[in-house]
Amino acid sequence: MMQMLGYVLAFVIAVGIIITVHEFGHYWVARRLGVKVLRFSVGLGKPVFARQVGETEYVLARIPLGGYVKMLDGREGEVLEEEAHRAFNLQPVWKRFTIVAAGPMFNFIFAVLAYWLTFVIGVEGARPTVGEVAPQSIAWQSDIRPDDTFVAVGGTPVKTWQQTSIQLLGDALRTGQVTAMLQGEATGRKVVTLDLSDTRQLLSEGNLLEKLGITPWSYTYEPVFGKITQGVAMDAGVREGDRVVSVDGQVIQSWSDLVRYIQDRAGIPIQMMVDRDGQRLEFELTPAPDQRDGKTVGRVGAYPYVDQARVQQQKVVVRYGPFESFSRSLVKTRDVTVLTLKLLWRLVKGEASLKNISGPVTIAEYAGVSAAIGISAFVGALALISISIGILNLLPIPMLDGGHLFYYLIEIIKGSAVSERIEAFGQRLGIMLLVGLMCLAFYNDIYRLLH
């Protein structure tokens, strides 16, 4: 329950920031171009906070799923003659185009600044080391093996799994054949080629690495005792560092094997053989009964040993200086934008699964998880969401900024505004498209929750 509340809070904060940035773009440019702004609203529906400052009313509304900037407009009410020069609808087409385009443009500017901040602070990620490779998978056929670490993809250096995945997908959509350099513990450096030309399979629902047959490296808990608290294990004489060889004559391969065996034998004595500095010792333990999720399980009061040096070796912090961070943030924003546009085009062509479209629930989970990781991850998530909102609003769909920009382009070409009849039809079509898109996104969210 607390986790869900955290997701909701992170979602509200994230969406609130992105909406404010988007609407501020419209507001700021409109003011600079001499258009009168009547209301600046973050959120939709009934206001929960409103304050008049000068000629503009600033509003915080109930529903955090949108916002708007209301400008003086002769199509929405009477405009006094002395204020006609400040009405939006009476501005030259280039001014109207600039004001409308400012919202999405501010989303991209925000993404650049957000990525810059993450690079300056430092982005923590997992080193792209392969844990397992599925037999006969794309990765296996490309000679990728366990413990190989990605060094570069398509000539671009990579340091984390996130960078690796984005680069793999981007190069796959561009060429279909992706070259990668890997460092193997035993084999040294090697260059492999992955055949990623089957974009339908690549863009189907699911994790990209799973489709390639790659399971990222994760720490394997060996059957070695770590911290021992007061209880059965300590009373029996077990020490930190003891490696379990067998229990009741059964060979133990992992810590999870040991945990399952102990949990199934609450109150039942067991014979445990351990290896302590090369010496075999045997202990008798009787797991203490404990209640867990309505079931009685056995416990001995011990935790697994964790090789912290090995764990830290797989953690990477990507950090740059202020000037280099800015250039990298520009490149990152460009790359994510281009990749998103390519994915959208594949969706339109039917080459990508519609299940890739996410709604508020998935965004809330993403924002919540990133917020739990740290400020840098959360800011990075804001940048990605901001780019997505910017692109969405530039789509030529009536009701969105892109739809209005499309009308203005027609006006520039033909020399006169689009007729009110066409605009009205476009509005109805736009509402239908947006409702359909929202329904699909909600359906995908609910499907993911139930599966």
- Alpha-carbon distance of 101 to 231, in angstroms, equals 66
Is the Cβ–Cβ distance between 286 and 210 less than 8 Å? no
Give yes or no for a contact between 8 and 361, defined as CB atoms under 8 angstroms apart: no
Assess whether 351 carries a catalytic annotation. no
Considering only residues 202 and 81, tell me which one the structure prediction assigns the higher pLDDT.
81
Q: How many CA atoms lie within 13 A of 26 on its CB side?
A: 24
**Predicted confidence (pLDDT) per residue in 5-57, tens digit:** 766 777 788 888 999 999 999 999 999 999 999 999 998 888 888 999 989 99
HSE on the CB side for 245, CA within 13 Å? 13
Decide if pLDDT at 381 tops 90.
no
If DSSP states are collapsed to H, E and C, what string results for the chain?
Answer: CHHHHHHHHHHHHHHHHHHHHHHHHHHHHHHHCCCCEEEEEEEEEEEEEEEEECCEEEEEEEEEEEEEEEECCCCCCCCCHHHHHHCHHHCCHHHHHHHHHHHHHHHHHHHHHHHHHHHHHCEEEECCEEEEECCCCHHHHCCCCCCCEEEEECCEECCCHHHHHHHHHHHHHHCCEEEEEEEECCCEEEEEEEECCCHHHHCCCCCHHHHHCEEECCCCCCCEEEEECCCHHHHHCCCCCCEEEEECCEECCCHHHHHHHHHCCCCCCEEEEEEECCEEEEEEECCEEEEECCEEEEECCEEECCCHHHHHHCEEEECCCHHHHHHHHHHHHHHHHHHHHHHHHHHHHCCCCHHHCCCHHHHHHHHHHHHHHCHHHHHHHHHHHHHHHHHHHHCCCCCCHHHHHHHHHHHHHHCCCCCHHHHHHHHHHHHHHHHHHHHHHHHHHHHHHHC
Cα gap 176→197, rounded to integer Å: 4
Q: What is the mean pLDDT of residues 286-290?
A: 90
Distance of alpha carbon 404 from alpha carbon 433, whole angstroms:
15
381 to each of 374, 377, 385, 388, how far by Cα in Å? 11, 6, 6, 11
For residue 184, what pLDDT is reported?
83
| Distance (Å, whole) CA 339 – CA 199 | 13
Say yes or no to pLDDT of 81 above 90: no
Confidence category of residue 441, pLDDT binned at 50, 70, 90: low
pLDDT digits (tens, 9 = 90+) for 387-414: 988 988 898 888 788 888 988 998 888 8
Q: Exposed (0-12), middle (13-18) or buried (19+): which is 18, by Cβ within 10 Å?
A: buried
Biggest alpha carbon distance in the chain? 98
Residue 11 near residue 385, CB atoms below 8 Å: no
d(CA 282, CA 271): 7
Predicted structure pTM score: 0.77
How high is the pLDDT of residue 25?
95
CB-based contact 289:264 (threshold 8 Å): no
225-305 folds as Pdz3 Domain (2.30.42)
pLDDT tens-digit readout, 177-214: 889 999 987 778 899 998 888 767 766 667 788 888 89
Output the pLDDT for position 12: 80
From CA 92, how far away is CA 343, in angstroms rounded? 35
Kindly indicate the confidence band of residue 323, based on its pLDDT and cuts at 50, 70 and 90: very high
Task: Give me the residue label for tokens 């003086």.
Answer: 72
Q: How far is residue 337 from each of residues 107, 200, 398, measured CA to CA in Å?
A: 11, 21, 22
State which amino acid sits at residue 184: G
All structural domains of the chain with their residue ranges = 225-305
Distances from the Cα of 170 to the Cα of 82, 163, 202, 226, 369, angstroms: 54, 11, 11, 43, 24
Cα distances from 52 to residues 31, 42, 57, in angstroms, run 16, 14, 4
Of 142, 248, 240, 140, give the one whose Cα is nearest residue 194.
142
Q: Are 256 and 263 in contact (CB under 8 A)?
A: no
Q: Are strands 315-318 and 288-292 parallel, antiparallel or unpaired?
A: unpaired
Reported confidence tier of residue 356, pLDDT bands at 50, 70, 90: low
pLDDT reported for residue 396: 85
pLDDT at 378: 84
pLDDT over threshold 90, residue 449: no
For helices 2-32 and 375-394, angle between their N-to-C axes, nearest 10 degrees? 50
Tokens of 257: 């094997």
Q: Rounded distance, CA 205 to CA 355, Å?
A: 6
